[in-house]
Amino acid sequence: MEALKLQPDSSVLSDEVIVKRIVAGEKELFEILLRRHNQLLFRVLRGYLKKDVEVEDAMQNAYLKAFDKLYQFQGHSQFSTWLIRIGINEALAIIGKMKKEKTIYLYAADDRNEDVKKITDGMNPEKQIIRQETERLLEHAIDNLPDKYRMVYILKEVQGLPIDQVAESLNISVENVKVRAHRAKNLLKETLYQTSISANVFEFGNLRCDSVVANVMNRIR
């Protein structure tokens, strides 16, 4: 799709105003909403689906359904909340289909987002590897949280949504959000602590072993 040439004021337009203009016929403005909410929707769906290809398919389907139903958006809640609900329904439909077909999907780490890329661009390769491995450990720990804790943690702690919006998006109480977020943090601490005392930590792996052996042998020859 050809990139939209955004109008000078497009970055400051509210979601509600953009929706009204799209419904009125300016379909090209839908790209603004796509780019504005891609990270949020990815993280929401990543909380349910484990493979990037599944998440991307679900994102596309959710956006298409949102576009078809855009005229139904009345602004009673934030557009992002409305979009989250559509995304969750899409993810649950995919999960239901997967269970019906008895298909097993393996864990796959998601791609680094642009914010991380900006941070790591200035790092040396060793620090980038350490950061990436740390992120993979955390992502894996989050993946293993029970569903009700994982979604609250992703929306509140990873995406940084306000508690009331998390509650509205997941149709639970604010107090329930607080309880689940606290429990999620404790479960992550336990998981990461167990990982930290694993025998694999500080393991002198084959590649490092081969490198040292090669360097020493080259020097003594």
Per-residue pLDDT of the chain (221 residues; tens, 9 = 90+): 445 555 545 668 899 999 999 999 999 999 999 999 999 999 999 888 888 888 898 999 899 999 999 999 988 889 999 999 999 999 988 888 877 764 333 333 344 444 445 444 555 666 666 666 677 778 888 888 888 899 999 999 888 899 999 999 999 999 999 999 999 999 988 888 776 655 454 555 666 677 777 777 787 66
Q: Residue 180 is inside which H or E element, if any? A: helix 174-196
Judge contact between 16 and 75, C-beta under 8 A: yes
Q: Where are the domains of the chain?
A: 10-101, 114-202
Q: Please determine, looking at this structure, whether the domain spanning 114-202 carries the CATH number 3.40.250.10.
A: no
DSSP 51: S
Is pTM beyond 0.75 here? no
- What b-and-e string marks burial along 43-78, b requiring 16 or more CB atoms within 10 Å of the CB? bbbbbbbeeeebbeebbebbbeebeeebeebeeeeb
Whether the domain at 10-101 and the domain at 114-202 fall into the same CATH topology: no
Q: Which CATH class is domain 10-101?
A: mainly alpha
65: CB partners within 8 A, 6+ apart: 86, 90
Q: What angle do CA 77, 79, 84 make, to 5 degrees?
A: 95
CA gap 127, 138 in Å, rounded: 17
The confidence score (pLDDT) of residue 203 equals: 54
3-state helix vs strand vs coil in the chain, percent to 5: 70, 0, 30
